Amino acid sequence: MLPPNFTAPVGTRQGMAALASLVLLVAAIGLALAFEHVGGYVPCALCLEQRTPYYAAIPVLALALALNARVSPPWLVRAGFAIGAAIMAYGMALGMYHAGFEWGFWPGPQDCAIVSGGAAVSAGDLLGAIDSMKAPACDQAALRVLGLSFAGWNAVAALMASALAGFAAFTRD
Protein backbone atom coordinates (compact mmCIF):
# COMPACT_ATOMS: atom_id res chain seq x y z
CA MET A 1 0.00 0.00 0.00
CA LEU A 2 1.36 3.40 -0.98
CA PRO A 3 1.41 6.38 1.38
CA PRO A 4 -1.52 8.73 0.60
CA ASN A 5 0.73 11.47 -0.75
CA PHE A 6 2.31 9.13 -3.30
CA THR A 7 -0.77 9.30 -5.52
CA ALA A 8 -0.98 13.11 -5.41
CA PRO A 9 0.36 14.92 -8.47
CA VAL A 10 3.97 16.08 -8.25
CA GLY A 11 3.97 19.87 -8.22
CA THR A 12 6.51 22.55 -8.91
CA ARG A 13 7.67 22.73 -5.27
CA GLN A 14 8.44 19.00 -5.21
CA GLY A 15 10.24 19.14 -8.54
CA MET A 16 12.32 22.13 -7.45
CA ALA A 17 13.19 20.47 -4.12
CA ALA A 18 14.34 17.32 -5.91
CA LEU A 19 16.32 19.40 -8.39
CA ALA A 20 17.95 21.31 -5.51
CA SER A 21 18.85 17.98 -3.90
CA LEU A 22 20.39 16.77 -7.15
CA VAL A 23 22.38 19.99 -7.64
CA LEU A 24 23.63 19.77 -4.04
CA LEU A 25 24.74 16.16 -4.58
CA VAL A 26 26.59 16.97 -7.79
CA ALA A 27 28.24 20.00 -6.19
CA ALA A 28 29.30 18.03 -3.09
CA ILE A 29 30.82 15.11 -4.98
CA GLY A 30 32.44 17.54 -7.43
CA LEU A 31 33.98 19.44 -4.54
CA ALA A 32 35.25 16.20 -2.98
CA LEU A 33 36.84 15.16 -6.27
CA ALA A 34 38.37 18.65 -6.69
CA PHE A 35 39.92 18.49 -3.22
CA GLU A 36 41.38 15.11 -4.16
CA HIS A 37 42.60 15.73 -7.71
CA VAL A 38 43.35 19.46 -7.60
CA GLY A 39 43.99 20.11 -3.91
CA GLY A 40 46.04 16.97 -3.35
CA TYR A 41 44.01 15.65 -0.41
CA VAL A 42 44.25 11.86 -0.49
CA PRO A 43 41.02 10.33 0.81
CA CYS A 44 41.03 7.52 3.34
CA ALA A 45 38.97 4.36 2.88
CA LEU A 46 36.04 5.80 4.86
CA CYS A 47 36.10 8.98 2.76
CA LEU A 48 35.87 6.91 -0.40
CA GLU A 49 33.06 4.81 1.07
CA GLN A 50 31.09 7.99 1.82
CA ARG A 51 31.03 8.80 -1.91
CA THR A 52 29.07 5.66 -2.79
CA PRO A 53 25.66 7.05 -1.74
CA TYR A 54 26.27 10.07 -3.96
CA TYR A 55 27.08 7.84 -6.92
CA ALA A 56 23.84 5.94 -6.28
CA ALA A 57 21.51 8.85 -5.46
CA ILE A 58 22.52 11.12 -8.34
CA PRO A 59 21.21 8.82 -11.11
CA VAL A 60 18.14 7.87 -9.05
CA LEU A 61 17.12 11.51 -8.56
CA ALA A 62 17.99 12.38 -12.17
CA LEU A 63 15.80 9.51 -13.38
CA ALA A 64 12.93 10.56 -11.09
CA LEU A 65 13.17 14.13 -12.39
CA ALA A 66 13.21 12.86 -15.98
CA LEU A 67 10.13 10.73 -15.24
CA ASN A 68 8.46 13.79 -13.76
CA ALA A 69 9.18 15.77 -16.92
CA ARG A 70 7.67 12.95 -18.99
CA VAL A 71 4.46 13.10 -16.92
CA SER A 72 4.89 9.63 -15.46
CA PRO A 73 2.64 8.31 -12.69
CA PRO A 74 3.12 10.36 -9.51
CA TRP A 75 3.80 7.26 -7.38
CA LEU A 76 6.74 6.34 -9.59
CA VAL A 77 8.27 9.82 -9.46
CA ARG A 78 7.73 10.09 -5.70
CA ALA A 79 9.20 6.62 -5.18
CA GLY A 80 12.36 7.79 -6.96
CA PHE A 81 12.53 10.84 -4.71
CA ALA A 82 12.00 8.65 -1.63
CA ILE A 83 14.72 6.21 -2.68
CA GLY A 84 17.10 9.13 -3.21
CA ALA A 85 16.23 10.44 0.26
CA ALA A 86 16.84 7.02 1.85
CA ILE A 87 20.18 6.62 0.09
CA MET A 88 21.34 10.01 1.32
CA ALA A 89 20.12 9.28 4.86
CA TYR A 90 22.53 6.34 4.73
CA GLY A 91 25.19 8.73 3.41
CA MET A 92 24.56 11.01 6.38
CA ALA A 93 24.99 8.07 8.76
CA LEU A 94 28.33 7.22 7.11
CA GLY A 95 29.49 10.83 7.48
CA MET A 96 28.43 10.94 11.13
CA TYR A 97 30.21 7.64 11.81
CA HIS A 98 33.43 8.89 10.24
CA ALA A 99 33.25 12.28 11.99
CA GLY A 100 32.57 10.57 15.32
CA PHE A 101 35.57 8.32 14.75
CA GLU A 102 37.72 11.38 14.02
CA TRP A 103 36.59 13.00 17.26
CA GLY A 104 37.23 9.78 19.21
CA PHE A 105 33.58 9.23 20.15
CA TRP A 106 33.72 5.56 19.06
CA PRO A 107 36.15 3.11 17.52
CA GLY A 108 36.45 2.93 13.77
CA PRO A 109 37.57 0.24 11.34
CA GLN A 110 40.95 -1.37 11.89
CA ASP A 111 41.79 -1.59 8.20
CA CYS A 112 41.61 2.04 7.09
CA ALA A 113 44.01 2.18 4.14
CA ILE A 114 44.47 4.05 0.89
CA VAL A 115 42.75 2.63 -2.18
CA SER A 116 43.95 4.95 -4.93
CA GLY A 117 47.33 6.29 -5.83
CA GLY A 118 49.17 8.48 -8.28
CA ALA A 119 49.79 7.67 -11.92
CA ALA A 120 52.79 5.51 -12.69
CA VAL A 121 54.55 5.20 -16.01
CA SER A 122 55.89 1.66 -15.67
CA ALA A 123 55.39 -1.34 -13.43
CA GLY A 124 58.59 -0.47 -11.55
CA ASP A 125 57.31 3.07 -10.98
CA LEU A 126 54.02 1.66 -9.77
CA LEU A 127 55.70 -0.61 -7.23
CA GLY A 128 57.89 2.25 -6.06
CA ALA A 129 54.90 4.55 -5.74
CA ILE A 130 52.99 1.95 -3.74
CA ASP A 131 55.94 1.36 -1.41
CA SER A 132 56.43 5.09 -0.78
CA MET A 133 52.77 5.95 -0.16
CA LYS A 134 51.43 6.36 3.31
CA ALA A 135 47.78 5.65 3.84
CA PRO A 136 45.89 8.54 5.39
CA ALA A 137 44.54 7.73 8.81
CA CYS A 138 40.74 7.68 9.04
CA ASP A 139 40.86 9.07 12.56
CA GLN A 140 42.77 12.22 11.54
CA ALA A 141 40.86 15.01 9.79
CA ALA A 142 42.85 16.26 6.81
CA LEU A 143 41.24 19.70 7.09
CA ARG A 144 38.68 21.36 9.33
CA VAL A 145 36.53 24.25 8.14
CA LEU A 146 34.40 26.01 10.76
CA GLY A 147 35.17 23.13 13.10
CA LEU A 148 33.95 20.38 10.78
CA SER A 149 36.08 17.91 8.85
CA PHE A 150 35.32 16.66 5.36
CA ALA A 151 33.32 13.84 6.99
CA GLY A 152 31.33 16.32 9.07
CA TRP A 153 30.54 18.46 6.05
CA ASN A 154 29.57 15.32 4.16
CA ALA A 155 27.05 14.52 6.91
CA VAL A 156 25.61 18.05 6.65
CA ALA A 157 25.36 17.89 2.84
CA ALA A 158 23.81 14.41 2.93
CA LEU A 159 21.27 15.54 5.55
CA MET A 160 20.28 18.53 3.42
CA ALA A 161 20.02 16.41 0.25
CA SER A 162 17.99 13.74 2.07
CA ALA A 163 15.64 16.34 3.55
CA LEU A 164 15.06 17.98 0.16
CA ALA A 165 14.42 14.66 -1.58
CA GLY A 166 12.18 13.54 1.29
CA PHE A 167 10.22 16.78 1.03
CA ALA A 168 9.80 16.13 -2.70
CA ALA A 169 8.61 12.59 -2.05
CA PHE A 170 6.17 13.11 0.79
CA THR A 171 4.56 16.56 0.49
CA ARG A 172 1.64 17.81 -1.54
CA ASP A 173 1.62 20.95 -3.60
**DSSP secondary structure letters along 150-164:** HHHHHHHHHHHHHHH
Task: State pLDDT tens for residues 7-33.
Answer: 666 778 888 888 899 999 999 999 888
What pLDDT sits at residue 30?
92
Domain spans, the chain? 4-105+139-170
What pLDDT sits at residue 131?
59
Task: State pLDDT tens for residues 66-98.
Answer: 888 877 888 888 889 999 999 999 999 988 888
Q: What is the percent of the chain with per-residue pLDDT over 70, rounded to a whole number? A: 75
**In whole numbers, what is the pLDDT of the chain averaged over residues?**
80
Higher per-residue confidence, 104 vs 91: 91
Task: State pLDDT tens for residues 123-138.
Answer: 666 666 655 555 576 6
**Euclidean distance between CA atoms 133 and 119, whole angstroms:** 12
* C-alpha 24 chain-centroid distance: 10
What pLDDT sits at residue 133?
57
**Euclidean distance between CA atoms 106 and 19, whole angstroms:** 35
Band of pLDDT at residue 143, cut at 50, 70 and 90: low
What pLDDT sits at residue 135?
57
What pLDDT sits at residue 85?
95
Higher per-residue confidence, 80 vs 147: 80
Amino acid at 173: D
Contacts with 95 (C-beta within 8 Å, 6 or more apart), sequence order: 50, 151, 152, 153, 154, 155, 156, 157, 158
The DSSP call for residue 144 is: E
Tell me the H-state helices in the chain.
12-37, 45-69, 74-102, 123-132, 150-170
172 near 11, Cβ under 8 Å? yes
24 near 157, Cβ under 8 Å? yes
Reported as half-sphere exposure (CB side, CA atoms, 13 A), residue 103 has a value of 14
Q: Is the pLDDT of residue 110 over 80?
A: no
Mean pLDDT throughout 140-157? 78
What pLDDT sits at residue 4?
66
Q: Is the pLDDT of residue 114 over 60?
A: no
Tell me the H-state helices in 103-136.
123-132
